[in-house]
A = this chain, B = another copy of it.
Amino acid sequence: MDRILRINMGGDKGPTYKTEPLGDYAGLGGRALTSAIISKEVPPLCHPLGEDNRLVFAPGMLSGTSAAMSGRLSVGCKSPLTGGIKESNAGGQAAQVLARLGYAAIVLEGKAKADTLYGVVINKEGVVMAPDDSLKMLGNYALVDKLRDAYGDKIACISIGQAGEMKLSAASVAITDMELRPTRHAGRGGVGAVMGAKGVKAIVLDDTGTGVRRPMHPERFKAANKAFVKGLREHPVTGQGLPAYGTNVLTKVINDAGGYPAYNFTRGRFEGSSRLSGENQAELETGRGGNATQGCHRGCVIRCSGTYVDRDGNYITKQPEYETVWAHGGNCGIDDLDAVARLDRMDDDFGLDTIEMGVAIGLAMEAGLAEFGDAQAAVDLLGEVGRGTPLGRVLGSGAAVTGKVFGIDRIPVVKNQAIPAYDPRAVQGMGVTYATSTMGADHTAGYAVATNILNVGGAVDPLKPDGQVALSRDLQVATAAIDATGMCLFIAFAILDQEATFQALIDMINAFYGLGLTAEDVTELGRQVLRREREFNQRAGFTQTDDRLPEFFRKAPFPPHNGTFGVSDEALDQVYNF
């Protein structure tokens, strides 16, 4: 994994490619690598859909090894949604396969001629890029079926649906799971639109003839991995809650805490929450012959996913995540898990971010295009996106555009990115992360819910501003480091609570690369990533005024606690004081 594959889509005679050593980027992986490349190579004021933007796919430092949980693929670019730097990562098989093929990153450069859509195939022999009009406007499911027919089922696919082809700002990049289904998505920030702008519909990865990446110190590596897995299994969140109920275990937890942003962020509890809960979801899945405990990539030991089937046992979608269930569910006043699963399937097929779409549909309901609670109307609205109608293109452009087009002045976004499933008035630490993350509103950028609500990594009162800035800062730094490793972020629960598990992670990296990193070195890596991202955003025109929540979070009390967001602007401006 010591080469970068650069594919220039804009060549006069069609796309060309070359490989090169990592050079200045040596030692970086995942988000650390995507952000370094974007920061160095992309003009900060370029149009995100123009030829000067680059789209980078990077497995993490430990991807492709036998390390547990190391299957995240980072996707980076200048975001068409936020206008800032973007790294969105996803599970699925692609990171492992790409790493085994020896690539630390694929960089898509330039821009194909208008109306030409390419498929890219990468295997041990090299790279083939071929125009293929038969792929146009296929949904991700039909696309992957077609690719399976052509290339067999030992592949992993990175692809876009209709939304990416239409260059919509909520478009995701889909990555296939172990069942070769396009269910894992680099969802946030419109990375799929950038792939569409480059003119690439799908990247097929085939690691036939390659093997697992070999550590420099195999025994030490094996021992560290064993200790790491033990820690994950022993922690209540990663060993019990997530395997049993998936991320949707949070519906009950966040609703009980009064931090569940129901009906487009107007109240903190939803009367239909028990119908949407992870407990109910797991029972329903298993009762119908589905599966409530399943990994998304080889080497996953948490297995927070599952298979959602209909009443007849037919596959609909992977187990929807908590944020999806909230966005398409309670945020829109909808309490029907079957409807949520159908919406999740449509998002995956069209290639859309479920959070952005749920919030956009909630705004459409607020604007009077449909009634809150009308599941069929939500399905119809989302269907417009797949068909590319004007209304669909508005919704697919995300929450900020939807709010603007329909004249709404209460729009839950930061840096134009929709705010996820934890209201900043009742989970104040999340408000700090939303406001200050380089990514726009992003719960994964510094998951203060852990310490505000779950009592992981200590305890901070979720309703008070005290201690939230330090908490969010530390979490954002730690997350940036984890996102560089290729590790699933859910390892953070165990790492925050168990010193030995954190040490085991560091031991794995050291044993694999023959390094002597300390905990402080890893933290410093996280700080470097954030500094680089923030500096890019500043060159793109971001200031402290972009590190703010929409005004209604300070003005409108949020039931049941009836609080407002209380962290001062001055305090927010201290997050990057490191």
Query: Which residue numbers of A lie inside 8 Å of B, CB to CB?
Result: 43-50, 52, 80, 166-169, 193, 196-197, 389-391, 393-394, 397, 401, 404-411, 539-543, 545-546, 548, 550-551
Q: Does B407 contact A193, Cβ atoms closer than 8 Å?
A: yes
Q: Does A397 contact B405, Cβ atoms closer than 8 Å?
A: yes
Residue contacts A-B, CB under 8 angstroms, 7 given: A46-B551, A50-B409, A166-B407, A167-B407, A391-B391, A394-B405, A541-B543
CB within 8 Å for A405 and B401 given contacts A45-B545, A550-B47, A551-B45? yes
Q: Does B545 contact A541, Cβ atoms closer than 8 Å?
A: yes
Report which of B52, B196, B394 forms a contact with A551, defined as CB distance below 8 A.
B52
Q: Does A540 contact B551, Cβ atoms closer than 8 Å?
A: no
Q: Does B49 contact A548, Cβ atoms closer than 8 Å?
A: no
Q: Does A47 contact B551, Cβ atoms closer than 8 Å?
A: yes
- Nearest CB on B from A190, distance (A): 10
Task: Provide the bound-state CA to CA distance between A389 and B389, in Å.
Answer: 11
Chain B residue nearest to A407 (CB atoms) is B167
- Nearest CB on B from A52, distance (A): 7
- Nearest CB on B from A122, distance (A): 27
Residues of B within 8 A of A539 (CB): 545
Q: Does A409 contact B47, Cβ atoms closer than 8 Å?
A: yes
Q: Does B548 contact A45, Cβ atoms closer than 8 Å?
A: yes
- Nearest CB on B from A167, distance (A): 3
- Nearest CB on B from A577, distance (A): 20
Residues of B within 8 A of A551 (CB): 43, 45-47, 50, 52
Chain B residue nearest to A111 (CB atoms) is B409
Q: Does A168 contact B407, Cβ atoms closer than 8 Å?
A: yes
- Nearest CB on B from A289, distance (A): 40
Residues of B within 8 A of A52 (CB): 551
CB within 8 Å for A409 and B197 given contacts A401-B404, A404-B401? yes
Q: Does A409 contact B49, Cβ atoms closer than 8 Å?
A: yes
- Nearest CB on B from A407, distance (A): 3
Task: Provide the bound-state CA to CA distance between A49 and B52, in Å.
Answer: 35
Q: Identify 13 new A-B residue pairs, CB closer than 8 A, beyond the known A47-B410, A197-B407.
A: A46-B551, A49-B408, A52-B551, A168-B407, A169-B404, A193-B407, A390-B405, A391-B391, A393-B394, A393-B406, A405-B405, A540-B545, A541-B543
Chain B residue nearest to A46 (CB atoms) is B551
Most chain-B Cβ atoms within 10 A of its Cβ — which of A43, A45, A539?
A45
Report which of B50, B394, B540 forms a contact with A394, defined as CB distance below 8 A.
B394
